A and B are shown apart, each in its own frame.
Chain A
Amino acid sequence: MLFNSLHFVAFFIIVCSIYFSIGHKYRWLLLLLSSCYFYMVFLPIYILILGFTIVIDYYAGILIEKNTGRKRKLYLIMSLVANIGILAVFKYYNFLNDNLSVLLNSIGYNNHIPNLSILLPVGLSFHTFQAMSYTIEVYRGNQKAESNFGIYALYVMFFPQLVAGPIERPQNVIHQFYEKHNFEINRIVEGLKMVLVGFIKKLVVADRLAIYVNAVYDNPDKHSAVSIAVATMMFAFQIYCDFSAYSEIAIGTAKVLGFDLMTNFRRPYFAKNIQDFWGRWHISLSTWFRDYLYIPLGGSRVAVPRWCFNVFVVFMVSGLWHGASWTFIIWGALHGFYSIFGIIFKKLKFDVFLRKTLVTRVLSNLFIFGIVCFAWIFFRARNVHDALLICKSLLTVKGGGLFLGVPASFFYSIMAILGLLLYEYILEYHPNKFKVFNNKNVVIRYAGYSLSIIIIILFGVFNGGQFIYFQF
């Protein structure tokens, strides 16, 4: 079920109404059944895959807790293999097989292994990582194994964050399913405000920008360097608004029901360096990789070459997590290189010079935005060939004017970006000024809410566009 659909609005109103009408002890069951329905709207049969991993990880958690020594480790490995195995089959099998075919063809052999014609289950990478974090945390002793199968299933399936995160940790969420959540007007209003901001970001900004970005990126050979540069810049804002909108709607809907989910984005394009960017972008995934891959590899408490290697591995895996395609791997590798340069830059103490003035701060913001945009080319392009064609057009400053598409829509896109930047600038540098939704004056608050909804009705794009991160 898509958040940006009337189906979801009706679903959420019904779930909330029943949730606050029934007793606390039945609420987990309602949320679990609602989550099953939410997931089954996409493709009902895939609930079996989710069910399989839930059963495996539930028992793995109990067995890890009950046992000691090697057995404990064995159960953890079994759980991880099951999770990664499912991910490998559904997400990476065809990619690996295709690359094997290319490799065998280059040495004169044919690959007779057929590809699988299966659809990728929605949000597979998200709920697999969330499930893995549970068994790892039980193994580390940070989380007690959950004895109630239904509560564990709900931890993996909780509908607000089931298909596109935030990727939660068991310590943050499971105990909340046992707590009683009353109908608290302030919390509900806070949640609904987040949902409203999410809808503006998705419908007014992301889906509007997608019109121009798709027109250029679907025919990169027909566009000039300036059009490609504008489309790439727009894609940077599109993907940010698309994904952060999902997170805000997820966090907001969970808040309405009484749950606190982790923050997933903190104005990433105001980052001062690449490490800062990754501390602000998809925080739940970055911290997942930090806790379960980077630190186990040795993190930064090793010699510099090994540190750089650890960073590069994490970004390569992050690229692969996003998609089974070389474009995502290159995207990850680019961020790996950026981060390694960042480490070297810091080690050589070059960053000392950049902290002094407003100009250097703005320039470093723009520089980070520029290199992040360059990496987004590989993320968005349909394939490596297209990405290289786009890079070539940019580097050779391919001639031609600026493609406008529908002029009015282009104008809305620019206005949407400027509006977003102003909103984020205020949040970043003046969080206590210019309050609208949180203003003490009720007239300003209501004007803010109603005008936001009017803006959505008038300038939103209602073509039911999917959230980009669903495909991961």
Chain B
Amino acid sequence: MKSQLYTFIKKFVLLLLVIFVLDYVFGTLIEKAFYKEKQGDSSTTTYALTKANEDLLIFGTSRASHHYIPSLIADSLHISAYNLGRDGIKFDYNYALITSVLKRYNPKYIILDINQNDFTYDTLGTQKDIFTSMFLPYVRRDSYIKDLIYQVNPREVYKAEISKLYAFNSLPGSILQHALGVGQKNNHGYEALFSTKLTPADKSIVFNNSNYKEDTTLTRKFDEMIATIEQRKIKLLVVVSPTLNKFKNTPLPTVNKTLSKYGLKTVDFSDAFASADNSKLFHDRTHMNNDGSTLYTQLIIKDLKK
């Protein structure tokens, strides 16, 4: 039995070595390709964490990435601008991104597009997994991001430290897709939507979200972040961009309560185009198309000039 056990351990260790070597080789190749991505959601996050140095940065969800045209802002205000909005995120993502950027430099302006779900309590417990999967590829290179993930999902940090490939789980397909130039292109982070799925008859709807519950950890982080931004004397614009989906309970009272401590107030553009033909300006109920975004960006420019 002893000789069999010895042989087994020998073979097992050999297999582990082969796996570690392959993991390192493939992991390094995928990591390089990942950091070279020019399009897609991950490229925006990578840009924010490693390169962003613009005067004005826009943060938010998909509504931010489809609603703010940095080139228009840059041309009007003669400053550089970049849109760092990303699909499917909540405030925890923006907190990580903004505080990470502030560790590198102080932009002159920050626009934070607030979304209905930014501060909602994660009843299903899936948000920490989404947050982790978005930031795990940066664990080995960014100690601040590593600390943030460690706070919510320490096991994932250990896994990513053992396996270089693990951090890039499920990403090769999108890396390949963007390398081949398939999918939506962005311009300084702005992803234009064209055409509409609406009809002229489509009007805004108010949803009765009576079970709306806020996550106090997120609202506390929001307060901390605003304090830092104010301390650095960065001009902050907290905005709600136009939408056709309205909610009875929104994060605005909490957000405004926090902002008022610093003499600020949310700029609410949610009804800015209420009298317009929605099918001309909106792509769907929550996102404007390129025409709507162009008009809306002009409104933002006016506000920034004040």
Complex Cα gap A451–B4 (Å)? 25
> CB within 8 A of A462: which of B19, B165, B169, B183?
B169
> CB within 8 A of A458: which of B15, B18, B19, B26?
B26
Q: Write out the residue numbers on chain B whose beta carbons fall within 8 Å of the beta carbon of A189.
A: 8, 11
> CB within 8 A of B23: which of A185, A409, A457?
A457
Contact between B4 and A412 (Cβ–Cβ < 8 Å)? no
B2: nearest residue on chain A (CB-CB)? A183
Complex Cα gap A185–B8 (Å)? 6
Complex Cα gap A189–B15 (Å)? 12
Q: Say if the beta carbon of B172 comes within 8 Å of chain A.
A: yes
Interface residues of B (CB under 8 A from A): 1, 4-5, 7-8, 11, 14-15, 18-19, 22-23, 26, 129, 155, 163, 165-166, 168-174, 177, 183
Tell me how far the C-beta of A396 lies from the nearest C-beta in chain B, rounded to whole angstroms: 22
Give the dominant DSSP class at B's interface: helix
Give the dominant DSSP class at A's interface: helix
A156-185 Cβ-contact flags toward B at 8 Å (1 or 0): 000000000000000000000000001111
Q: List 5 A-B contacts (CB under 8 A).
A: A409-B173, A450-B22, A454-B19, A454-B22, A458-B169
A184: nearest residue on chain B (CB-CB)? B4
Complex Cα gap A411–B174 (Å)? 10
Contact between B18 and A450 (Cβ–Cβ < 8 Å)? yes
> CB within 8 A of B26: which of A20, A408, A454?
A454
Tell me how far the C-beta of A254 lies from the nearest C-beta in chain B, rounded to whole angstroms: 18
On chain A, the number of residues with a Cβ less than 8 Å from chain B's Cβ atoms is 26
Q: Say if the beta carbon of A384 comes within 8 Å of chain B.
A: no
Contact between A454 and B174 (Cβ–Cβ < 8 Å)? no
Beyond A185-B8, A450-B22, A451-B22, whether A458 also contacts B172 by CB under 8 A is yes
Contact between A459 and B174 (Cβ–Cβ < 8 Å)? no
| Top-9 shortest CB links A-B | A408-B173, A408-B174, A450-B18, A185-B4, A183-B1, A450-B19, A457-B165, A185-B8, A411-B173
Tally inter-chain residue pairs, CB-CB below 8 A. Answer: 64
Q: Which residue, A183, A184, A446, A450, has most C-beta atoms of chain B within 10 A?
A: A450
Tell me how far the C-beta of A325 lies from the nearest C-beta in chain B, rounded to whole angstroms: 23
Complex Cα gap A446–B18 (Å)? 8
A377-421 Cβ-contact flags toward B at 8 Å (1 or 0): 000000000000000000000000000000111011000000000
A188: nearest residue on chain B (CB-CB)? B8
> CB within 8 A of B14: which of A411, A446, A463?
A446
Q: Say if the beta carbon of A453 comes within 8 Å of chain B.
A: yes
Complex Cα gap A407–B41 (Å)? 13
B20: nearest residue on chain A (CB-CB)? A450
Contact between B7 and A185 (Cβ–Cβ < 8 Å)? yes
Q: Write out the residue numbers on chain A whose beta carbons fall within 8 Å of the beta carbon of B23.
A: 454, 457
Complex Cα gap A149–B52 (Å)? 69
Q: Say if the beta carbon of A92 comes within 8 Å of chain B.
A: no
Q: Which of A25-59 contact B (CB under 8 A)?
A: none
Contact between A460 and B1 (Cβ–Cβ < 8 Å)? no
